[in-house]
Amino acid sequence: MARINENYLKLPGSYLFAEIARRVNRFKTENPSADIIRLGIGDVTRPLVPAVIKGMEAAVAEMGQESTFRGYGPEQGYDFLIQTIIANDFAARGVTIGEDEVFVSDGSKSDVGNIQEIFSDKAKIAITDPVYPVYLDTNVMAGRTGALGEDGRFAGITYLVCNAENNFCPALPESPVDVIYLCVPNNPTGTTLSRSELKKWVDYARETEAVILFDAAYEAYITEADVPHSIYEIEGAKEVAIEFRSFSKTAGFTGTRCAYTVVPKTVMGRTEAGEKVPLNQLWNRRHTTKFNGVPYIIQRGAQAAYSPEGKQQIREVVDYYMNNAKVIREGLLSMGLTVFGGVNAPYIWLKTPAGLDSWGLFDKLLTEVNIVGTPGAGFGPAGEGYFRLTAFGNAERTIEAVERMKTQLKL
């Protein structure tokens, strides 16, 4: 019998969403007429904008003609999309990025999950707590974490706690690490780091020769001027940071699939013997060996998201979600709850009221007002005592959910 990668057995089951589904299904069976509103999903609900559809339709027509048909494309992405990305997302912010530093992919989940392959299995990893689970789970699979302790933490991981006490701005690691995952604006907390807070991390990474893996999947939701859209807006970041961007939450591509990763040629790692190696070289090798490019039609759709009409239409969609965020945030604040996020991100992170833990609030919302959210404890031990609501739903249903909470929830 083939021997397996036993690291997989260290992963706790997909407890969070399975348990949410179990509780919702049981409630629905017992209360078939209940009108449940889901504010738990991290998926978008608005359709693709017309400019993107137009870009894709033109590409579909090209694929049907011998003279314009495309087979395999460059694994790193077509020049037309890479150049559009650089011009709009970086040059427009005064950041210089080379065309061979951008890698187009089928999603940030793949990229943030796969990037760990280019680091040593001995690399020390720091992640925030609570966290988007992919960063942790992929390092568990790779065998970098040791076993799961009774406190819900892996012995080999450096956890960077983010909570109300530190204003969701984690303290620097106490001992050196090789790799630091940061997600700004953050999922699940909806909070951000200011320019000066992020600079502290970049300076730290430069001093200790660590690499920052910067997940900016929610960049489009930033509304405040002091929140950087790219880590490369911070001086020195091109020496130490890899940035992940996605069209999922920006242009509604969660089902369409397109993202990109920036690996500046100046970001270095080292061999055991101390030889410096550019991470760009390793990621290029990994990407071209294991990935065969995003479909031409999809890349044309992504390019169209940057056209003047595309930008305008996408802005309206982001504003739609952010209006939901405002409705939720203000509604909860008016109830006297302590609320974070929802200003630069489509996530609202609330403190559970006294006497209720994360799952306690989940059950109360489900049974008293038929609303489904996500218990903070599912994102890591430091998420206990918090709860996540998302702004990706329908506007009318979001208003109704908030009204129900304001008028019917017994806190």
Instruction: Return d(Cα 235, Cα 99) in angstroms, integer.
Output: 20
Contact 55, 300 (CB under 8 A): yes
C-beta closer to ligand PLP: residue 56 or 112: 112
C-beta closer to ligand PLP: residue 183 or 302: 183
Report the nearest approach of ligand PLP to the CB of residue 200 (Å). Answer: 21
Report the nearest approach of ligand PLP to the CB of residue 110 (Å). Answer: 6
Bridge partners of 389? Answer: 348
Report the nearest approach of ligand PLP to the CB of residue 277 (Å). Answer: 26
Q: Residue type for 143, please?
A: G
Contact 225, 293 (CB under 8 A): no
Report the nearest approach of ligand PLP to the CB of residue 60 (Å). Answer: 22
Contact 105, 292 (CB under 8 A): no
Q: Identify the burial level of 258 via C-beta atoms within 10 angstroms of its C-beta, where 0-12 means exposed, 13-18 middle and 19 or more buried.
A: buried
C-beta closer to ligand PLP: residue 95 or 183: 183
Report the nearest approach of ligand PLP to the CB of residue 132 (Å). Answer: 4
C-beta closer to ligand PLP: residue 295 or 331: 295
DSSP for 385-407 reads TEEEEES-S-HHHHHHHHHHHHH
Report the nearest approach of ligand PLP to the CB of residue 109 (Å). Answer: 3
Report the nearest approach of ligand PLP to the CB of residue 130 (Å). Answer: 11
Instruction: Return d(Cα 222, Cα 381) in angstroms, integer.
Output: 27
Indicate the SS3 state at residue 346.
Answer: coil
C-beta closer to ligand PLP: residue 259 or 405: 259
Nearest to 205 by CA among 181, 184, 229, 223: 181
C-beta closer to ligand PLP: residue 303 or 370: 303
Instruction: Return d(Cα 182, Cα 135) in angstroms, integer.
Output: 10
The β-bridge relationship of strands 371-372 and 37-38 is parallel
Indicate the SS3 state at residue 384.
Answer: coil
Bridge partners of 390? Answer: 347
C-beta closer to ligand PLP: residue 219 or 370: 219
Tokens of 80: 């037309």
Which residue number has the CB closest to ligand PLP? 107
Contact 118, 258 (CB under 8 A): no
C-beta closer to ligand PLP: residue 107 or 385: 107
Indicate the SS3 state at residue 184.
Answer: coil
- Which residues are near ligand PLP by CB under 6 A? 42, 107-109, 112, 132, 183, 187, 215, 217, 246, 248, 254, 259
Nearest to 127 by CA among 111, 140, 114: 140
What is the enclosing helix (H) or strand (E) of 358?
helix 358-369
DSSP for 101-142 reads GEEEES-HHHHHHHGGGGS-TT--EEEEES--HHHHHHHHHT
Report the nearest approach of ligand PLP to the CB of residue 249 (Å). Answer: 7
Report the nearest approach of ligand PLP to the CB of residue 273 (Å). Answer: 34
Report the nearest approach of ligand PLP to the CB of residue 254 (Å). Answer: 5
C-beta closer to ligand PLP: residue 42 or 278: 42
C-beta closer to ligand PLP: residue 84 or 186: 186
The β-bridge relationship of strands 241-246 and 211-215 is parallel
